[in-house]
Amino acid sequence: MKLRDLMFVLPNLFTVSSIFCGFYAMALCTDEGSTVNLYQAALAIFFGIFFDGFDGRVARLTKTQSLFGQELDSLADVVTFGAAPALLIWKWALEGLGIVGTFIAFAFAACGALRLARFNVLAIKSPHGGASRFFIGMPIPFAACGLVSMVIAFQNTHGGTLPESARWPVAAIVMFLALLMVSTVRYRTFKDVRLSTRSIVMLMAILVFGIVIATQIHPAWVLVTYFGLYLVSGLVESIVMLRQHLVSQKNASLADVVDE
């Protein structure tokens, strides 16, 4: 096998590693379902996020992007960031809610699959091949990170079984993330970020904020905080863009009236 052929295999190894993390997480969820196993399952999905973040970068670095790799990545995301987190959150919080909890967990996995299908279609139609400044809807790895961060934070700060009173709030969060994935809320891809004084200052501010959270509250809440900032940033930016669109439409209407 030639070196070039091996280079094509390299990014797919990262993708397959992500699938393994998702499969291992589901195996832990079905094996007794103890709080220790669920915590380890959350960590496994988190490592899956790490592998998923590098497969595309490795492909671009080695110039081995392929349609096969793109399709494999989408299938991996359905397993690792759709089915695995849905099963995890069902065992951790939603199992006690009966059929409602089962439906909400399923809705997260289903919305994740729908979001990936829409992304693939838009990527085919896009002249940039999907490499735009914004995602349409929350990316499924980030939604999975939201669920995983809750489990990791709770188990590190409280431990034990989730209280009954917290099950419905968790269910609401899961449903909200599911709807965000299939929404038209725009989230930044950060593909347009370049090294500059502004970007360095922003990165340092985020790091300092994380350090404050870690030292003053608990290190486990840093991931929850960063996810919350990303979630809110998309909502705020979409509201601002919608407002600008409405203002431009209003100005255009006024201009038409003046011309008449």
What are the per-10-residue average pLDDT scores of the chain (260 residues)?
65 90 94 85 94 80 78 91 96 93 96 92 67 83 94 89 91 96 88 73 86 88 91 89 75 58
Q: What is the pLDDT of residue 69?
A: 80
Distances (CA, A) of 47 to 15, 148, 186, 198, 226: 12, 11, 25, 30, 17
Q: What is the pLDDT of residue 119?
A: 87
Q: What is the pLDDT of residue 183?
A: 93
How far apart (Å, rounded) are the C-alpha atoms in residues 76 and 69? 10
Q: What is the pLDDT of residue 128?
A: 54
Q: What is the pLDDT of residue 259?
A: 56
Distances (CA, A) of 156 to 45, 150, 163: 16, 10, 15
Nearest by Cα to 227 from 175, 183, 187, 193: 187
